[in-house]
Amino acid sequence: MNYDKAHELARSIKESAEYKMFLAAQKKVSETPESNRMLEDFRQKQFEFQMKQMSGQELSQEEIEQIQKLYEIIQLNDDIRKVLEAERMLGQIMEDINRIIAEPLQALYGMGEK
């Protein structure tokens, strides 16, 4: 198997407007200690909750409200909001690429047939 196309895809992602927008937004947040700390705190809490869910534990109503409140607060910061939006767009691209790449395996295992 030749990996040239994979490297070409990686270069294309790095050259995309979405990737560049994410990097620029992330850089701007990292230059502001308060914004950077807020984003890191949110991501840490989000990670903790995701790990809890992955281990089969349900989040309490209080925890759900806590993460929603944190999200609402960080959305008030324009720089952080831009990071999250750019991250969402880049994530969607990666999801689409993964779906396309997985098509041969789906056909192989009959997952694409209904």
Full set of structural domains in the chain with CATH: 4-108 (1.20.1500.10)
Q: What is the pTM of this model?
A: 0.80
For residue 17, CA distances in Å to 22, 52, 58, 95, 100 come to 9, 34, 38, 17, 20
Confidence of residue 113 (pLDDT cuts 50, 70, 90): low
What pLDDT, on a 0 to 100 scale, did the predictor assign at position 107?
A: 78
What pLDDT, on a 0 to 100 scale, did the predictor assign at position 110?
A: 76
Confidence of residue 112 (pLDDT cuts 50, 70, 90): low
What pLDDT, on a 0 to 100 scale, did the predictor assign at position 92?
A: 97
Q: Percent of the chain having pLDDT more than 70?
A: 96
| 2 membership: H or E segment, kind and range | none
Q: Tell me the DSSP string of 20-78.
A: HHHHHHHHHHHTSHHHHHHHHHHHHHHHHHHHHHHTTPPPPHHHHHHHHHHHHHHHTSH
Confidence of residue 108 (pLDDT cuts 50, 70, 90): confident
The chain-wide mean pLDDT, for the chain, equals: 92
